[in-house]
Amino acid sequence: MSNKKCGYYIQLDDIAEKFLRIGQFLGEGHNGIVYLLPDDKVIKIFKDKKVCESEFNILKKTTKSKHFPQIYYHGSNYIVRSYARGVRLDYYIKENGLDYNAAYSIIELLKEFKKLGFTKLDIRCKDLYLDENFYLNVIDPKNNYSKHCIYPRHLMKGLNKLGVLGDFLDAVNSEYTEVYDDWSFRIKRYLKRGIK
Ligand SMILES: Nc1ncnc2c1ncn2[C@@H]1O[C@H](COP(=O)(O)OP(=O)(O)O)[C@@H](O)[C@H]1O
Ligand SMILES: [Mg+2]
């Protein structure tokens, strides 16, 4: 079967068809479309099966972490997973600035990336949803075990754009002291001279 609800035709199996029929559109990215399902679940339908497989492989390795979506069901081009509650972190910061609770949550998440053995210790603000308990939920993990990034460059670049990099680095200095010198040196050098 194929389905026009995606805006383009994607072959889906009967189970995915059923989910899609009851789903409500949540958002679309480069790689897929996401629909909200009952019981705090979503279905992400991928344009490319390889991208689906690599995202599935990351999610398998992060099942122990509550920051990442749990997987309920999957097919060759879709994954049914838990819904990430909260507001997109960049929208939150635009409204509220970066308060200490939010900064603390980001730092806890980055420590978790290390525990999970990620080689890419980085994420973008738009892939993080901050819930009412200041807990950060990740959507759309990518290349966490294939790309190498030893400090959160994209994240800090985003925070700089939002005008809160100083607040974040102050929190890093208190809560993650052992990386403070390295991260602040690297991000300042990157922002000034473009050296990654
Ligand atoms: N768990 C989720 N909770 C809320 N919104 C989501 C969730 N997953 C995805 N979305 C929405 O769907 C969009 C596309 O999902 P995403 O996983 O980023 O796809 P892509 O890999 O194509 O970038 C997101 O930008 C977001 O708006
Ligand atoms: Mg995305």
What are the residues whose beta carbons fall under 8 Å from the beta carbon of 10, sequence distance 6 or more?
2, 3, 45, 47, 77
Closest ligand 1 atom to the C-alpha of 127? 18
Q: Closest Cα to residue 118, out of 89, 92, 147, 94?
A: 147
On average, the pLDDT of the chain sits at 95
**Positions of the chain with pLDDT lower than 70, given as ranges:** 1-8
Closest ligand 1 atom to the C-alpha of 55? 21
Closest ligand 1 atom to the C-alpha of 140? 17
pLDDT digits (tens, 9 = 90+) for 148-157: 999 999 999 9
For residue 34 and ligand 1, the question of a CB distance below 6 A is answered with yes
Tell me, what's the pLDDT at 10? 85
Tell me, what's the pLDDT at 5? 57
Tell me, what's the pLDDT at 2? 46
Indicate the pairing of strand 78-82 with strand 87-88: unpaired
Which residue's C-alpha comes closest to atom 13 of ligand 1? Answer: 27
Which residue's C-alpha comes closest to atom 3 of ligand 1? Answer: 84
Both ends of the chain: CA-CA distance in Å?
46
Tell me, what's the pLDDT at 112? 98
For residue 138 and ligand 1, the question of a CB distance below 6 A is answered with no
Token pair, residue 130, equals: 């901050």
Torsion of CA 98, 101, 103, 109, to 10 degrees: -140
